[in-house]
Structures are given as C-alpha cells and as structure tokens.
Amino acid sequence: MKIILLRHGESQWNLENRFTGWKDIDLTDLGRIEAEFSGQEILRNNIKVNVIYSSLLKRSIETASIVAKSLGYQSSKIKKNWRLNERHYGELQGLNKSETAEKFGENQVHIWRRSYDIPPPPLKKNDKRHPIHNDTFKNIDESQLPCGESLKDVVKRLEPFWFKFFNQISEDKNYLIVAHSNSLRAIVKIIEDLSEKMIVKVEIPTGVPLVYDFDNQFKIIKKEFLIEEKLLKLKQESIINQGKVR
C-alpha cells in the first residue's frame, strides 16, 4: 500500500510570500505546471491511485483535479475534507513577511512560524477573515472553526480525519492526499511518530509527491519524493532561505 502526500502547487500568495492560511487563493501558472508534473511523475512511477483526498480550499482542489485528470481519475470522486485545510494564521493571514515583521517584530514572527505550540494572535469573530463569515464552511460546527492555530493545533484538528481514514484504508489500494504544508506536516508527524522538535524542521515543497510504502502491518518500508534529489534540495533550500509562508 502507498500513501502519497502532495502539497498543492504554488499559489498567488505563495508567490507574494503572504500568510495564506484559510484564504481561498488561486494557483499561479507555475502552480498548475507543478500539479501537472506531479501527475506525470505518479504515472511515470506506475502508481495506480485508487482514492484522492483534498482540503476544501481551491488551491488544493485545483491541484487534485489536475493530477486526477493526468491519472484518468474522475474529479467528481475526489473526497474533500475541511480538516485537511492549511493552518489558520489568525491576525497574520494576508500579511507578507515584511508587513508582519514591521507590525509584530521579527523575533516574535519567527517564534510563531517555527514553534510547535505557540499560535499567532487570534482573529476576533467580527473580523471578515474569520471562517464563520465564509459560506464554504457554513456546515461546520462554529465551535470547531479556528481563528488562529499553532502546528500543534493543526495536528489536533487533523487527528479525527486521520483515524477515520486509517480505519477505512485497504492494504491493496493506494491513496493520494492533496493538502497544504502544515496539514501534511501534521500527517507526517503522525505517520512517522516524530517529536515536536523534529517536525518543526520538516519542509514540504509545493508540487512534489511524497510517497510512503507500507507493509501489511502498516510499517513504513520506503519513503521518497518523486523528483531528482538535486531539484528537491533546491526547492527545500528556497523555502528555508526565502522564509516562504503558506
């Protein structure tokens, strides 16, 4: 059995280095190319995908749809789940790196971005950026909608999805989960049982399939990114050096 984790292709706010969070932002042209690349790499490695999941955010849905088309998978069958949404950045949502540093100070921003359990300042309910004002999430219990999350909060939010998913999977099928940097890091933490210190160092580049191979006891046999190692390193270094936000 294989589980493939895929971070959506580059979005417009990734390009502008803004904290995107739950804001619904389109892919860039490069992001669509990255999605097509992902689909072709999955095909090239002869991986048959049986089930595809995405978040409720359109950059994830569009990436999943592009990949699905490459794989001959009906996009109408993509399973969407809000728990796969990106980390909610609270008051930081929409700000770029320089704006955030100017408003809160570089040291504080670094703590919010790189710590495991310290969330950014939460949004007030009357803030239009709060999820309660978005019709996409109107069927979700208001008490469950985040107004600002740490990575620890994302792990907690994602756990119900993961354990339901885990109880439904079959060892003779392969699964693709198209989501976001932090929701995928949450899954990586669960799959690999990583410590808090280890998971904050994990970087997941846009548009590169991360494939886990499991035996019938759900133990990891192999883990690999479907991209040349030198290109993967360049992507990861770009994220670190530019301080790319999600």
Question: 59 near 6, Cβ under 8 Å?
Answer: no
For Cα atoms 51, 4, 147, give the angle at the middle one, nearest 5 degrees: 90
- In angstroms, the CA 53 to CA 61 distance is 9
Ordered DSSP codes for 120-169: PPPPPTTSTTSGGG-GGGTTS-GGGS-SS--HHHHHHHHHHHHHHHHHH-
Pairing verdict, β 51-54 and 79-80: parallel
For the question of residue 86 being annotated catalytic, the response is yes
- In angstroms, the CA 65 to CA 36 distance is 10
For the question of residue 133 being annotated catalytic, the response is no
Catalytic hit among 34, 86, 91, 149: 86
Q: Quote the tokens at residue 96.
A: 């770029």
Question: 101 near 74, Cβ under 8 Å?
Answer: no
Q: Which residues are catalytic?
A: 8, 86
